[in-house]
Each structure stands twice: as structure tokens, then as C-alpha cells.
């Protein structure tokens, strides 16, 4: 891979209503965009899972399942690295440290597992949450894709 | 809906086969279907077969843990089987294998549960 090719940039932005039927649409769309890096099946399913986690959080926690809410996903590819941001303008997270604890959930009555953040942290190389109570949450995640092509070179 | 639930009783063991995608959107449907059957009797133990499950996230973990509590409260046992590598990682990460056994296939799960029951 030449140096110019290594730093090639591409991006896309996706905006949709905070409805649960859009969760599948969101992860499939992001996966389709990322597929130009020729990821392995494992990498692709990791990415689909983290998109699903972040979008579900925005819908359930950010917007309390209010379909008027809007979720925005940006995916950026620079070289072989994918950066995903998932943003909402919902209620925000009061206590980030608590929210990140494995198995902690603010909505046990909905049978949530409390594993969303743990999964995102584990499946991605970098993971960062910024949130402000009353104005929304933004999750930024990075993952380097070990292209299948690279394995054969 | 991109999620199918197939259920079958093997004596007092309920086998539930999930195919498709288990996420927040499909979780309520799965939960309702399973609880309906569990509540109407016949079911002491539960085998969850995930052979044809193409996608699962933490919403699916919530469904599995919820059914585990339900079955356990009735004094029963629960097992999972036929888990693909991606779903396996999720189950492992959540500590699920500390509370329920995993088997290669339905046959092994059934004999495993019959031994303990």
C-alpha cells in the first residue's frame, strides 16, 4: 500500500428517527460503508454490534423511546482506521463512571443487561463518551481494520 | 420481523430456537413468546438454541438473563447451545457461563439437563 493510499479519507453521515426498527438499518448501513476496507467477518460483526449498542442507548436512554428524537452517525475512514461517532440530543448521562460499570443499568425494569458500554470498549480500539445532562451524548469509537487483503500480501 | 422463534417441548424441557437478529427491536417479541409458553406450564427447564442467530447485542443478553431468572425462580435449569463465535464472545464477556452451561448441540444440552433434573 502506497503512502497516499494509506492516508486516503472517506466519510458518510447518517441521520434517522430514534425508532427501534432503525437499529438494524443503522448497523447494516455502517457495515456496508466499512466493507470497502475488506474487513474480516469478525471485524464486521464487532462494528455492527457497537453501532447497535450506541444507537440503542440513544433511543432508550437518550430519548426515552421518543421517536421524535434524531440519531446521527458519522463514519470516517482514514487509511485502514474507522472512526464512528454516534450522537443524540437527548437527556444525557448524569454519572458517566457509573454508566460505564459492567452490568449497571439505569433501566432494570426494561431487562437491560448493562453491558452496552463494556461491549463497545471491548470491541473497539478506542472509545470515548462525552455527555452533558440535558443536551445529549456523543460516542466516538475507533478501530483499525486488518484488511483481509493484507493477510495475503 | 427479522427474528423467528421456534419452540418445542421435550418432556419438561422447552427448546427455543432463535433465528435472525436479536436486538432491542426484536427483544420484546422474543420475551413475550417465551414467557407465554413458560407460564402456561409443562416447562421446568429451558434450552436456548442459537444456531441460526445471525446477530445479537446486549439487548439479547438482557433477554437471556431475564429468562434465566424466570426459570431459576421456578426451580429449573437453563442451558444454551449451538452458539456461533461472535455470540460466544458476548456471552463470555457478560459472565453468562458462570451461571449456565453451554453445549455443542441440542442433543447434548438435553442430556445435560436431564442428568441434573
The model's pLDDT over A19-32, given as tens digits with 9 standing for 90+, comes to 999 999 999 999 99
Determine the topology of domain A3-147 in CATH: Heat Shock Protein 90 (3.30.565)
Distance from CA of A3 to the nearest CA of B (A): 33
Nearest chain A alpha carbon to B84: A42
Distance from CA of A34 to the nearest CA of B (A): 17
Residue A69 is predicted with a pLDDT of: 98
Residue A56 is predicted with a pLDDT of: 97
**Mean local confidence (pLDDT), B31-60:** 95
CA neighbor of B19 nearest in space, from B42, B44, B37, B1: B1
- B-chain residues near A46 (CB < 8 A): 86
Q: Domain boundaries in chain A?
A: 3-147
pLDDT band at A152 (very low <50, low <70, confident <90, very high): low
- B-chain residues near A44 (CB < 8 A): none
B69 and chain A: CB distance < 8 Å anywhere? Answer: no
C-alpha cell at position A7: 492516508
The interface predicted TM-score (ipTM) is: 0.92
Name the residue with cell 426484536: B26
Specify whether the backbone of A111 is left (phi greater than 0), alpha (psi in -120 to 50) or beta: left
Q: Which domains does chain B have, with CATH numbers?
A: 3-103 (3.30.750.24)
Q: B63-86 pLDDT, tens per residue?
A: 999 999 999 999 999 999 999 998
Contact B91, B103 (CB under 8 A): no
pTM score > 0.90 for this model? yes
Amino acid at each position: 500500500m502506497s503512502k497516499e493510499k494509506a492516508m486516503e479519507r472517506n466519510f458518510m453521515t447518517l441521520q434517522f428517527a430514534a425508532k427501534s426498527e432503525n437499529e438494524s438499518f443503522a448497523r447494516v448501513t455502517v457495515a456496508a460503508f466499512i466493507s470497502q476496507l475488506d474487513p474480516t467477518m469478525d471485524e464486521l460483526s464487532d462494528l455492527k454490534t457497537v453501532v447497535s449498542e450506541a444507537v440503542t442507548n440513544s433511543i432508550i436512554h437518550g430519548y426515552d423511546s421518543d421517536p421524535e428524537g434524531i440519531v446521527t452517525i458519522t463514519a470516517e475512514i482514514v487509511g485502514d482506521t474507522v472512526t464512528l461517532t454516534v450522537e443524540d440530543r437527548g437527556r444525557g448521562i448524569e454519572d458517566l463512571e457509573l454508566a460505564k460499570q459492567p452490568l449497571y443499568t439505569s433501566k432494570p425494569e426494561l431487562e437491560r443487561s448493562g453491558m452496552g458500554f463494556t461491549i463497545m470498549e471491548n470491541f473497539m480500539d478506542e472509545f470515548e463518551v462525552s455527555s452533558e445532562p440535558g443536551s445529549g451524548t456523543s460516542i466516538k469509537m475507533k478501530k483499525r481494520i486488518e484488511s483481509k487483503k493484507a493477510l495475503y500480501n | 420481523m427479522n427474528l423467528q422463534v421456534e419452540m418445542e417441548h421435550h418432556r419438561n424441557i422447552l427448546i427455543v430456537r432463535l433465528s435472525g437478529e436479536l436486538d432491542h427491536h426484536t427483544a420484546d417479541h422474543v420475551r413475550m413468546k417465551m414467557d407465554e409458553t413458560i407460564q402456561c406450564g409443562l416447562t421446568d427447564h429451558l434450552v436456548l438454541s442459537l444456531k441460526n442467530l445471525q446477530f445479537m447485542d446486549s439487548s439479547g443478553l438482557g433477554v437471556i438473563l431475564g429468562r434465566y431468572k424466570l426459570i431459576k425462580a421456578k426451580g429449573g435449569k437453563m442451558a444454551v447451545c449451538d452458539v456461533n463465535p461472535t455470540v460466544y464472545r458476548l456471552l463470555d464477556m457478560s459472565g453468562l457461563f458462570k451461571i449456565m452451561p453451554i453445549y455443542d448441540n441440542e442433543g447434548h444440552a438435553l442430556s445435560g439437563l436431564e442428568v441434573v433434573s
